[in-house]
Structure 1
Amino acid sequence: MIRRHLLPQLDAALTESPAVALLGPRQVGKTTLALEVAKARPSLYLDLESDGDRAKLSEPELYLAQHEDKLVILDEIQRVPQLFQTLRGLIDAGRRRGRGKGRFLVLGSASIDLLRQSSESLAGRIRYLELGSLDASEVGRKRLAALWLRGGFPESLLAGSDAASLRWRADFIRTYLERDIPQLGPRIPAETLRRLWTMLAHQQGGLLNAATLARALAVDGKTVASYLDLLVDLLLVRRLAPWHGNVGKRLVKSPKVYVRDSGLVHALLGIADSEALLAHPVVGGSWEGLAIESLIAAAPAGTDAYFYRTAAGAEIDLLLQIPGQRKPWAIEIKRGLAPKLDRGFHLACESVRPNRSWAVYGGVERFPLAKDVEAVSLIELCEILAQA
C-alpha cells in the first residue's frame, strides 16, 4: 500500500467528529484507506452496492444501534441517501450517552445528492475530507514519470504495462459515463459528456469559454455549465479560480479548467506512451495539471488555490493562500531542465508581492533562479508545502 497523506488527517477527524465523509472519485483508494484506519479500532464495514449489506439495513436504526461501540464504515453511501436522517438520530442519541466521536465513516463519489443530503441532515455533525488520486510526493521520484503518463488511480499507475494501464483508464471512463453518472441522478447523454470531457482535455489548463464549448456541443451555455458543475462535483475536473486581490490591475475573471488526473487526460486524447505524450500539444498543460494537483494536495488544510493573469499578460501559474499567512506563495511551473522565468511572472510578482516565490521544474537540484525566486523540483516543493 502506498501511504496516503490523508491518513493522519482522517485519523484525527475521527477522534474529533461523530461522522466523517471521505469523498473522491471511484477507484481512487477510499475503501483501502478506510480499511487501513479501521485496523486501529473496532469497526464494521458495509458496502452499500452489495445487496446483502443493503439488506442488513432494512431497519437501519435497529441494526446500527447494535454496533454503537464500533466505527461503522458505509461505502458508496450515495446509493442509500436516506440513511443520513438515521445517522443524525443515532449521533444525537450517542452524544447523550457520552459516545460522541468516531461513530461513522461514510465513503462516497462526491455526488451532488450526497453533499446536499449530508449538509441538510448532519450539519455540525460531519467533517468532509477529499481523497484525490495519488500525487507526486506520495509516489516518489522513481515513479514520477509513470504517474505523469498513467495518472494517479492506483490500478492505472500500478498496471503491468502502459497498454494495460491505458485499457484500465478507457474502461474507467466508459463505466463512469455509462453507469456511474446515470446512477447519481443526472440524465446526460454519455456521448455528449464524453465530448465535453475530451474538449476539456484538449484545452488542459486553458481559460473556460463556456460559449465556445456550447457551440461545439450544440447546447446552450447553461447546459454546458451544468455538465461542468457535475464533473467538478465528482472531483474529475478542477476549476482554478482567478486571484481576486486588490492589485489595481485588470485581471482575467474566467477560471482555468483542468481534468484533474493526468492519466485521464491522456486516455481521453488517445495518448498511449511517453513518446506520444512528449510529441503532443497538450504536454505542457498536462505537466502543469499534474504539478498543480500535487501541490494543492500537499499544502496545509484550508489552503486556497488561484492563478493570476492580467489583460496585459502578467501571469502566475499557481497562487497558494496558506492559512495564517498574509501573502500567498507564487509558483511558476516549467517542464524542462533549464527553467527560465518570463517577464510576465516578474511583473505579476511585483503586483501580488507573494510571501515566497518558486519555479517548479523537471530537474532535482534546488538553486536561486532570480531575486527571491528559487528553482525546485516538484517533489521537494510538495515536501516544503507539507511543513508550511
Structure 2
Amino acid sequence: MTDHNFGNRYQDRARRKGRKSGLYLLLGSVSPEVSRQAGESLAGRATYLELAPLDPLEVGPEELERLWLRGGFPESFLAPSDAQSLRWRQDFLRTYLEREIPALGGRLPAETLRRFLTMLAHLQGETLHLSRLAGNLGLDGRTVGRYLDHLVDLYLLRRLPPYEANVGKRLVKSPKLYLRDSGLVHALLGIPHRESLLGHPVVGASWEGFVVENLLRVAPEGVLGFFYRTHAGAEIDLLLLFPSGALWAIEVKRSLEPKPSRGFHEALADLKPQAAFVVYPGEEAYPVAPGIRATPLPELMRNLWHLATQGGTSFPGKAE
C-alpha cells in the first residue's frame, strides 16, 4: 500500500474503536514523497524494513545463473523468456528515470539520467572518481554527488566503504560503487541473455556485485561490509566486520577452478581475519590454500543466515 493518508485514517478509526496495539499496515513503496509524508504524520509509529528482491536461497542453486542474469525483481525473474524479462527491466528503469528520481528534486533530463546510470553499469564495482564521472557527464561534482545520494536512497546503488586499518600502508580511501540489482546492470548495457553476458567485459564485475549484494543481504544485524585495497595491490573484495570484532575476508571469482590472487594473500597477511573464502559459481566447498576455502555463494549465504538466526553471536573459526 502506498497511500499514507489512508494509513492515518485507518489507524484513527481503529483507535476510536478501542484498538491500541497490534496494528500493522504494510507500505510497499520507496516513493520519496510517500516516505517523507509518512515519516511526518506517523512519527514514532512507523518502522522501516528493507524488503529485498529474490535471492539465491529462495530460488535454489539450479536457478542461480538465471537470477544473476535477470536480477531479483519477481516480474523479471519469472518472465516467460529472457526477452520479456529484459523488456520489464527496461520499463522499470524508464519509470525511475521519468518519475521516481525527479521526485527527489532533481532537474536533469531523463536522457542524462540514463547516461548516468549506464555509465555506472560500465563502472560496476570500481572505486568512485567523482571528478572523472562528472567530467564524462558534463556536470559538476556536486550535482553528481547529489544524484549518487538519490540512487542510494532509492535502493538502486550501494556504496561499499573502504576498510581503514593501521597497517602502515597506503590505502585506497574512495568507496566502491555497485548497482544493487544485477538484472538492471544487464538491462542498462543491453545484455539480453546468458551467452551475451559471459562474453561481455562486465561479466566479472557483474558477478562480483551479485555476490557482494547477496552476502550483505543475509548478514546478521550489526555486521558491516567493507572492501580493503592498498596502493601496492593487496585487496579483499568484501570484508565483513562482526560486532565482536571478527573479520571475514571474501574474494570473488567467476572461474570454476578458483585460485586466490596474490593480492588476496597479501591482504590476509595485513589483516589476519578469522575466516577467508573465495566465492565461486561451483557447487562444492573445498580448501584452496591454507586457511582459505572455495565456497559456493548459496553455502556462504546459508552460513551467514544461520548466524543471523542465532543472533550473530557465534562465528566459525578459520577455514581449514
> TM-score with structure 2 length normalisation?
0.89
State the match for 1:241 in structure 2: 161
Q: Which residue of 1 aligns with 2:318?
A: none
CA contact (8 A) 2:104 2:150 kept: no
Out of 270, 295, 303, the position equivalent to 1:384 is: 303
Indicate which of 63, 69, 73 corresponds to 1:143: 63
Aligned equivalent of 1:75: none
Distance 1:246 1:127 in 2: 37
Correspondence for 2:145: 225
SS of 2:66's equivalent in the other structure is: helix
1:207 corresponds in structure 2 to 127
Structure 1 residues 327 and 339, CA gap change in structure 2 (3 angstroms): same
Deviation for aligned residue 1:299: 1.0
- Which residue of structure 1 aligns with residue 97 of structure 2? 177
Pairwise CA distance, 1:131: 1.8
The percentage of counterpart residues that share the same residue type is 53
| Residue 66 (structure 1) aligned with residue 13 (structure 2) | yes
- Please give the alpha-carbon distance, in whole angstroms, between the structure 1 residues aligned to 2:277 and 2:48: 30
Question: Which secondary structure state, in structure 2, belongs to the residue aligned with residue 160 of structure 1?
Answer: coil
CA distance in 2, matches of 1:69, 1:360: 55
> Which stretch of structure 1 is more off in the superposition, 125-134 or 293-302?
125-134
Deviation at 1:193, TM superposition (A): 1.2
- Asked if 2 retains the 8 angstrom alpha-carbon contact of 1:288 and 1:333, the reply is yes
Correspondence for 2:278 among 335, 359, 364: 359
Query: Where do 1:2-81 residues align within 5 Å?
Result: 46-48=1-3, 60=8, 63-68=10-15
Which of 343, 363, 381 is the aligned partner of 2:262?
343
Per-residue CA distance 1:220-254 (angstroms, 9 max, x = gap) = 00000001110111000111000023333211000
Distance (Å, rounded) in 2 between the aligned partners of 1:116 and 1:238? 25
Q: 1:327 to 1:185 in 2, by over 3 A?
A: same
Q: What is the 5 A alignment of 1:318-337? A: 318-323=238-243, 325-337=244-256
Deviation at 1:341, TM superposition (A): 0.8
How far did 1:343 drift?
1.1
SS at match of 1:330: strand
* Residue 306 (structure 1) aligned to one of 226, 229, 252: 226
Local SS of the residue matching 2:14: coil
User: What is residue 17 of structure 1 aligned with on the other side?
Assistant: none
Of the three residues 23, 35, 39, the one matched with 1:114 is 35
Higher mean alpha-carbon deviation, 370-379 vs 243-252, is at 243-252
Q: Distance in 2 between matches of 1:156 and 1:189?
A: 26
Matched position secondary structure for 1:176: helix
- Cα distance in 1 for partners of 2:191, 2:166 equals 41
Map of 1:372 onto structure 2: 291
1:47 Cα offset (Å):
4.3
Q: Tell me what 1:262 maps to.
A: 182
- What do residues 295-352 of structure 1 show as CA deviations (whole Å, max 9, x unaligned)? 11111122111000001110000011123x3221101111111001111101101111
Taking a change above 3 Å as real, the CA distance of residues 367 and 183 of structure 1, as seen in their structure-2 partners, is same
Q: Answer yes or no: is the 8 Å Cα contact 1:135–1:293 preserved in 2.
A: no
SS in structure 2 of the partner of residue 207 of structure 1? coil
Amino acid across the alignment from 1:353:
K
The offset of 1:387, in angstroms, is: 1.4
TM-score norm. by structure 1 comes to 0.74
Higher strand content, 1 or 2: 1
